[in-house]
Chain A
Amino acid sequence: MEILQIAVITLVKILIVVTLMLLTVSYLVYFERKISAWAQNRVGPNRVGPAGLLQPFADVFKLLLKEDIVPFAATKSIHTLAPMLALFVAFTTYAVIPIGPSVEIFGYKVDLVVADVNMGILYILALTSVGVYAITFSGWSSGSKYSLLGGVRSSAQMISYEISMGFSIAGVLLFAESLRPVAIVNAQSGLMWNAFVQPIGFITFVVAAFAETNRLPFDLPEAEPELVGGYHTEYSSMKFAGFFLAEYANMIIASAMIITLYLGGWQVPYIEKLGLPDYAVVLIQVTAFFVKMGVLLFFIIWVRWSLPRFRYDQLMDLGWKVMFPLSLLNLIWVAILIMIMN
């Protein structure tokens, strides 16, 4: 295919996915507030638009019109770069996640993934490690104690859980025999979902994903009672919005990754046996992907409003003394399983 053609198709895909993500983030915030209200027996946002449905837009416009405050004590350039880095990471990782099989549109074969690269999974891991810098830099550059403590804590937390995340992914690779996300999804046909084959790996990965996205019970970097806002204490206006957007975008990416690696991606078990036309199958599969994502996102929000926060030593203990050995055991278990099956 010609390079220009690829570029145009890619740009269209990027625009569609980014728009979808921004919309999802807006309504994810809305649903988070509604669900939290429901969990705490409150009403939640209900003033802007019918049932408060326009609330996310009101929030965005409010943030847009606020003053961008950079404190005296801050190191200005790095203070500005940190939220950019957070956004950069959040809006590059989606590229390798497939939301459906390849389809034919107007005679072109189009993959329902922005970039189908060989190193897909490692690409996400690498970007996750870049994401640590957004938090470290914002913590350091704000010139506030809360920010610094939040930043350093958070980076130590994120790198600790990257280890068990890495080992859990290795278990998935044993079955998929490739780092290509599409191949990983294809390896989970029928009921061979990795969540069923390697439940331990599934659990360690989900826990690590919670820790990487800094969601409760792992939200120590911004533990409100002790650290105020954590690393984004000194951020306002769109810089704050950047962190906020990145956090929710990361939730979406994390659930998409869990689906791709462990819940069969877009696959619906035994759908090919129903004898449906091709386009219907693709449609059902893409819908299945988004349904799975909705369920996972609800789960993440549900956990946040149900569980208390870890203490820092408990968090580190869990990461190094429980999650790491478990993910290692999972790896050996999967290797033995493959030897038995062959």
Chain B
Amino acid sequence: MLVEYIPLFLVIAFAIVFAFGTVFSSKIFGPQRPNPEKLSTYESGVQPVGTTHERMSVKYYLVAMLFIIFDLEVIFVYPWAVQFKKLYLDPSVGTTAFYAMLIFLVVFEIGYLYVYKKGGFKWD
């Protein structure tokens, strides 16, 4: 069990070293001659106007909220998907496995349609 994951931990460790190495290599090889003009924010060659952190549309926030809920749904589908064939061939469960998931999805899709009708997916 754990043995299975040892290669993965190694991969992660290697990736961290690799990422550090790549990003800091230019500190070693590249020149360092900063000046105020160079370090100013790029705005198509003119002086930066206004503030950077303008207020963003609340739509982004809604997308993130919807994502969490939909993601949870996906997560609940996975254990079922992996086990479905066995469940279906098991005489004590049979088609119940299919209908149970169908009901789950339909119930959720009512919510999806509600958000749809409410204009939750409309980007304006």
Which A residues are closer than 8 A to B by beta carbons?
Answer: 1, 3, 6-7, 10-11, 13-14, 18, 63-73, 80, 83-85, 87-88, 91-92, 95-96, 114-118, 122-123, 142-146, 148, 152, 155-156, 159-160, 162-163, 166-167, 170-171, 173-174, 177-179, 228, 233-234, 237-239, 241-242, 245, 312-313, 316-317, 320-321, 324, 328, 331-332, 335-336, 338-339, 342
Contacts and interface: CB of A to CB of B under 8 A. Distances in A.
A114 B112 CA distance: 39
Given A144-B52, A317-B123, A117 B8 contact: yes
Contacts of A148: 52-54
**Secondary structure at chain A's binding surface: helix, strand, loop or mixed?**
helix
Contacts of A68: 26-27, 30, 32
8 contacts: A68-B26, A68-B32, A87-B19, A91-B15, A174-B85, A177-B84, A313-B123, A338-B85
A92 B15 contact: yes
Contacts of A92: 11-12, 15
A116 B16 contact: no
B76 to A, nearest CB: 10
B85 A328 contact: no
Given A88-B19, A241-B22, A69 B64 contact: no
B70 A163 contact: yes
Given A84-B19, A177-B86, A71 B40 contact: yes
Contacts of A144: 41-43, 48, 52
Interface residues of B, number: 70
A114 B5 CA distance: 10
Given A73-B40, A171-B81, 12 more contacts: A14-B10, A63-B26, A67-B34, A72-B41, A92-B11, A115-B4, A115-B5, A179-B82, A239-B23, A241-B22, A331-B81, A331-B105
B74 A163 contact: yes
A95 B41 CA distance: 38
Contacts of A69: 34, 38-39
Contacts of A166: 71, 74, 77
A244 to B, nearest CB: 11
B107 interface: no
Nearest to A229: B42
Interface of B: 3-8, 10-12, 14-16, 18-20, 22-27, 29-34, 36, 38-44, 48, 52-54, 56, 59-60, 63-64, 66-67, 70-71, 74, 77-78, 81-86, 88-89, 95, 98, 101-102, 105, 109, 112, 116, 121, 123-124
A18 B64 CA distance: 33
B89 A342 contact: yes
B121 A316 contact: yes
A312 B56 CA distance: 15
A114 B43 CA distance: 44
Q: Give 3 nearest A-B pairs by CB, closest first.
A: A166-B74, A238-B26, A115-B7
Contacts of A66: 26, 30
Nearest to A237: B26
Contacts of B22: 83-84, 87, 238, 241-242, 245
A316 B123 contact: yes
Nearest to A80: B23
A152 B3 CA distance: 39
Contacts of A336: 98
